[in-house]
Structure 1
Amino acid sequence: MQRTLVLLKPDAVQRRLMGEIISRFEKKGLNIIAMKMLQVTPTLAKEHYAEHVEKPFYPGLESFIISAPIVAMAIEGLEAIRVVREMLGATNGLNAAAGTIRGDFSSSRQMNLVHASDGEEAAARELALYFNEDEICAYNPVLTSFMRAADE
């Protein structure tokens, strides 16, 4: 099992796409083991996007991510990092395949609805920024045996 951070960005919240996006993760068989709505502060934005702070596009990125509430989720599942990123599609919604979240709902590079960790180290670091360990509620749904074989 793997855990990843998923953020429903301000555009997903403002466009009322939260339920639609969350349902896609649930239908895929991924477990949402923590979730909360919050307002990203400039300090949290700088921590989250630390590798981008010195880049010329950072001010616009920060301005966007703090512009409205987001929904942060800890998602768990088999190969969750890869699976979630494939479900999102290409970063630029104009290049994302139909059937992906961005392909179906985004036509922008920056306003691309969702962030997801890109690797195990990033997932661990990002999850710690948004959730305390006591906020994680890992569970095994009773329908798991109908979604994958016991040895998967």
Structure 2
Amino acid sequence: MLAGKYSTLGAMPTERTFAMIKPDGVRRGLTAEILRRIELKGYRTVGLKLYQIPRETAESHYGEHSAKPFFGELVDFITSGPVVAIALEGENAIAGWRSMMGATNPANAAPGTIRGDFATSVGENVTHGSDSPESAQRELALFFAEGELLK
């Protein structure tokens, strides 16, 4: 009885988030290692696909950066090869996945994080993750059609 009463204390909410292995990660053969880390962390993969991002989708994905000088480079890079689009589910999945990725600049990413272990530059930093519940919902809808995610 006591275990049931206190089993949810401190538990974080179950969330869904969008994760991506970018073209450099796919090209370098890091997909299996990154998926292994996701599974070892305990997140559930509820959507997964190898995907060549159309330019229009990439422009929408990076829309908040459209006025910035590096926007074209972002779009060119993300459309330069296939990506692995991943829908993750788990407790505190948004912040947890971002922590697993490490800092955007690999020079600042801690060893043991994906970017700390594998990224070569700010522009080619292997992974992407939604930064908020709102962006997770928007990005999941952008990369997965209705019915493509497990219930």
TM-score of the two chains, using structure 2 as the length reference: 0.89
Q: Distance in 1 between matches of 2:120 and 2:109?
A: 9
- The count of corresponding residues between Structure 1 and Structure 2 is 138
Is 1:14 the counterpart of 2:21? The answer is no
User: Structure 1: where are the runs of 5+ without partners?
Assistant: 139-152
Q: Does 2:40 match 1:32? A: no
Counterpart secondary structure, 1:47 = helix
Amino acid at match of 1:50: G
In structure 1, the partner of 2:76 is 63
Write out per-residue CA displacement over residues 9-31 of structure 1, whole angstroms, 9 at most, x where no aligned residue. Answer: 00000000000001000000000
Which 4+ residue blocks in structure 1 deviate beyond 2 angstroms? Answer: none
Q: What do residues 38-62 of structure 1 show as CA deviations (whole Å, max 9, x unaligned)?
A: 1111100111011011210011111
Residue type at the aligned position of 1:126: E
Distance in 2 (alpha carbons) for counterparts of 1:113 and 1:107: 8
| Structure 2 counterpart of 1:147 | none
Write the letter of the residue equivalent to 1:43: E
Counterpart code for 2:106: G
The CA deviation at 1:110 is: 1.1
Q: What corresponds to 1:141 in structure 2? A: none
Q: Per the alignment, in what secondary structure is the counterpart of residue 123 of structure 2?
A: coil
Q: Over the residues paired in the alignment, what is the CA RMSD in angstroms?
A: 0.7
TM-score by length of 1: 0.89
Secondary structure of residue in 1 paired with 2:147: helix
